Amino acid sequence: MFIDFATSALVTMLVTLDPPGLAPIFLSLTRGMSAGERRQVAVRACIIAFCIMAFFGVAGDIVLKALGVSLPAFRIAGGLLLFWIAFEMVFERRTERKQQTAETAITQDHIRNVAAFPLAIPLMAGPGALTATILLAGRAQGDPLLLTTLAAICGLVILCCLAVFLAASRIAKLLGVTGNIVLTRLLGVILAALAVQFVIDGARAVVGGG
């Protein structure tokens, strides 16, 4: 049972978080930052995502039920917030806002904000990842060994994301300014589609009673 659980958890979390797929999005969200600032965003986002996933693995289902919030509602909310970020990426609103912001805010507050949202939530610790974590924790049935294994696997997958993020700065240098701009617009459209899919999945679950 242990090996089956560990294998299932590892595959599920890898597919759900999709570390390689996050790399181009990370590049777009951190465009204009130095390598050091990107590193800060990557580390902070990974720590936040791991803490959220660990929390939901332990008490997520209980907390959501206590608040009267369903996972479909969480999915819809995450999709709407993600769509706003995608809108800003496509129409370069993020660049305009950064130009109107003080330099200190860009290097400190902006780094913290990007790391927390949308990188950690909902791109890493999003509805899919949190749902998977809650379901896997349910399969563990309170077994300390299995719960510890799940936490370790979540940590391993988060470390994979961190490794991908740290290598993303090299990709940015290869792309250059024009390449980064094109990539930002393209990924903005992809993010918008992903956001709409979040909303559709949540609405479908609500209509279907799940």
- In tens, the pLDDT along 108-152 reads 667 778 889 888 988 899 877 887 888 788 888 888 899 999 999
Model's pTM, two decimal places? 0.72
Q: What are phi and psi of 141, to 5 degrees?
A: 55, 40
Tokens of 67: 């608040």
Amino acid letter for position 149: T
Amino acid letter for position 168: A
Tokens of 51: 């803490």
Q: Distance between CA atoms of 80 and 105, rounded to whole angstroms?
A: 25
**Alpha helix locations (H) across 91-142?**
93-99, 103-107, 109-114, 127-140
Give me the number of domains the chain comprises: 1
* Residue-range definition of the domain harbouring residue 95: 2-207
Q: Which residues of the chain have pLDDT under 50?
A: 95, 97-106
Measured in whole angstroms, the distance separating CA 136 from the mean position of its chain's CA atoms is 18
20 and 168 in contact (C-beta within 8 Å)? no
Q: Distance between CA atoms of 194 and 185, rounded to whole angstroms?
A: 14
